[in-house]
Amino acid sequence: MARLFLGIDLGGTNIKIGLFDDKLTLIEKTSLPTQPEKGPEFVIENIAVAASDLLSKNSFSKEELLGASVGCPGPVDLKRGVIENAPNLPLFRGFAFRDALGRRLNIPVTMENDANAALWGEHALGSARGVKDVVLLTLGTGIGGAVIANGHIVHGHCDAAGELGHIAIFPNGRLCGCGQRGCAEAYASASSTAKRAIEEIQKGRESTLKELLEQNKTLSCRDVYAHRDSGDELACEVTSLTHEVLGRLCAVIQNFISPEKIIFSGGMIARGDDLLNDIRAEFEKYAWPGRQDSVEIYFASLGEESGIIGNAALAIEASRNIEN
């Protein structure tokens, strides 16, 4: 009889589900639209049907499925298994998602913040493998974060640890979505990078991006980087500030918990070595003198699978804890 586990990554747009054995080998994965507007019970039913399909397609029985973990957008209350107020999942607010999913699947289910689960995946099989002290920064619409210290995920008192995108880099700086000013996220996320370029053009700055903005009514972070490559002064200035903010953020993180590695994930890392080398160079400017070499800055290696792998690892560990 096989010993199987589900790693589930619940996003505002898609749900990714992976079926794993107890050695953390992926057997098969699937993805389905979340449709959060239909509410949590609907989503749970879809997860249960997808899980059942994964089992039957691979000729396993329900009895072989021993546990699951679900990664959810924060903030989450991990003690109660509740999604608190994720902006993309308004109908889930206050709903006891973990226990309802456990009842429907009829197996023990654990819950984790999605960024923490992604870092746990990188720690199990990816670029943070075997690293005891490591920090993840995810570059997307916002800047997410997660921290592993001495081999354990840091949750903090209210499960709110790791909100590293909201470390203020410039006091009294740009207004952030969190209501504070000067946060790293307000400058250096993919969305904020594009937004800063748009604002400068609207203020009258000349740029080769101007025509594209008039055409499309918006700009993406990718557009800004493409124009950096062709030498546009504004695009260079905007992206250089993104790199400076990320380097400064790494220096703050180093002073705070001194990780062995800081790893970046998210769509922006498709940019490659150009981004990584600039962040490293900026970090060196702001790091504690003499300690510039004590942190390695890298990209995450598992891509979108980090969430399902991390959750499967958490489900396997939870089942061992129950057995012991």
Tell me what percent of the chain is helix, strand and coil, each rounded to the nearest 5: 45, 20, 35
Comparing CB distances to Zn ion, the nearer of 178 and 270 is: 178
Residue 166 engages Zn ion in binding (rule: CB under 5 A): yes
Tokens linked to 92:
């889930």
Q: In angstroms, rounded to a whole number, what is the distance separating the alpha carbons of residues 186 and 153?
A: 26
Choice between 188 and 309, CB closer to Zn ion: 188
Q: At its nearest, how many Å lie between Zn ion and the CB of residue 35?
A: 29
Pick out residues in 42-81 that bind Zn ion (CB under 5 A): none
- State the nearest-atom distance from the C-beta of 115 to Zn ion, in Å: 15
Tell me if 114 sits within 8 A of 71, measured CB to CB: yes
Please, which of residues 173-212 interact with Zn ion by CB under 5 A?
Answer: 176, 178, 180, 183
Q: How far is the CB of 306 from Zn ion (least distance, A)?
A: 24
Sign of the torsion angle spanned by Cα atoms 168, 170, 176, 180: positive
Q: How far is CA 260 from its chain centroid? A: 19
Q: Which is nearer to Zn ion, 134 or 176 (CB)?
A: 176
- 58 or 85: CB nearest Zn ion: 85
- Interface with Zn ion by CB under 5 A: which range of 23-31, 68-76, 161-169, 222-230? 161-169
Q: Minimum Å distance from CB 176 to Zn ion?
A: 3
Total interface residues for Zn ion by CB under 5 A: 5
- Where are the extended beta strands (E) located within the chain? 4-10, 14-21, 26-33, 65-72, 76-77, 82-83, 109-113, 134-139, 143-149, 152-153, 261-265, 296-299
Structure tokens, 30: 């699937």
CB of 284 to Zn ion, least distance (A): 25
Positions in the binding site for Zn ion (CB under 5 A): 166, 176, 178, 180, 183
